[in-house]
Amino acid sequence: MFKSNRYRAALYFCAAIAVAEAIWLLVFVIPWTPKDTRVVVITLAATFIIGLGLLVQSNLIRYVGAVLMAAWGGGLLWGISRGIAPLLRPTPTYLLVFFYYLLLGVLHLLTAAILLFSKQFASEFAERRASQPEYVRNLRRLLIGSIIVGAVLFATFNDIVKLASAP
């Protein structure tokens, strides 16, 4: 009747993380703290790339994304454990931020655990990868290449801006 599918669960968790981060970005970060937009956009792009990498069955993105998600989720949960003092006088804003960080931290760690430690996910991933059509292999190569080119262009642009603004 209901068959557990870890591959699909990992994709859904990545989509849930991306949707939660997009809503947080649009509703809270951009209107209230536009200077912090860059960090949230980077994490949103990373989550989107991880989901896309899982879709095209990239081993590199699977492992690098899992380590990134574990670090990010651990950081979020560590941050809320250190910021527990304001819970003595909870305000609606603090509780919203607390539950957002808690939700994202748990989702990140759960997704990382599935990507790294689930034998069922590994077998489903290998099975899908072995039977994928040629265009998916080409999409995987294109995705990895575009990530590398994008990172190089971003770093170059960042260096140019910093050099141009230096006194």
Q: How far apart are CA 27 and CA 24, in angstroms?
A: 5
pLDDT tens profile 72-118: 999 999 988 887 666 666 778 778 888 898 999 999 999 999 999 99
pLDDT tens profile 132-159: 899 888 999 999 999 999 989 988 988 8
pLDDT tens profile 18-55: 999 999 888 888 888 877 777 778 888 899 999 999 99
DSSP type of residue 89: S
Q: How far apart are CA 61 and CA 68, in angstroms?
A: 10
Cα atoms in the Cβ-side hemisphere of radius 13 Å centred on 102: 10
| pTM, 2 dp | 0.83
Q: Is-contact 66 30, C-beta < 8 A?
A: no
For 147-167, letters b (16+ CB in 10 Å) and e give: beeeeeeeeeeeeeeeeeeee
